[in-house]
Amino acid sequence: MRPSDGGGGEPTVPGPVRTCLGCRRRRPAAELRRLALAPGLDRARVVPDPCRRLPGRGAWVCHDDPGCLEKATQKGRLARALKIANPDLSALGRG
Ligand SMILES: [Zn+2]
């Protein structure tokens, strides 16, 4: 059961790995959805960042599990991850 060494030909390229803020699982970033602060607003509004281009800190939640977004927005987890006191979550449908 040792990994083959120097074989090559593996089709899967390991991309960046991120931790879901909801379930805390580590997954490839491609399977996660990025949340970030919308730039240029007075209030710290958290928005989905499908292009992953927004500057600053981001938080990640599972793409395929709505429960993760739910958990991530509870108990100030998002606030802590993004280092802001009172994030506006209305853009996430979580008034
Ligand atoms: Zn998750």
Tens of pLDDT, residue by residue, the chain (95 residues): 555 555 566 666 678 999 999 999 999 999 999 999 998 877 789 999 999 999 999 999 999 999 999 999 987 899 999 999 889 999 997 55
Report how far ligand 1's centroid is from the alpha carbon of 46 (Å): 18
Asked if the structure places residue 10 within a domain, the reply is: no
| 71 contacts 89 by C-beta, under 8 angstroms | no
For the record, the structure tokens of 84 come out as 């802001």
Q: What pLDDT, on a 0 to 100 scale, did the predictor assign at position 83?
A: 92
For the record, the structure tokens of 36 come out as 């970030």
For the record, the structure tokens of 19 come out as 């931790």
CA–CA gap between residue 48 and residue 70 (Å, rounded): 14
Asked if the structure places residue 12 within a domain, the reply is: no
Report how far ligand 1's centroid is from the alpha carbon of 6 (Å): 33
Report how far ligand 1's centroid is from the alpha carbon of 25 (Å): 6
Domain with 26 in it: what CATH number? 3.30.1230.10
Report how far ligand 1's centroid is from the alpha carbon of 34 (Å): 12
Q: Has this prediction a pTM greater than 0.85?
A: no
Report how far ligand 1's centroid is from the alpha carbon of 30 (Å): 13
Tally of domains in the chain: 1
Give the structural domain span for 59: 17-92
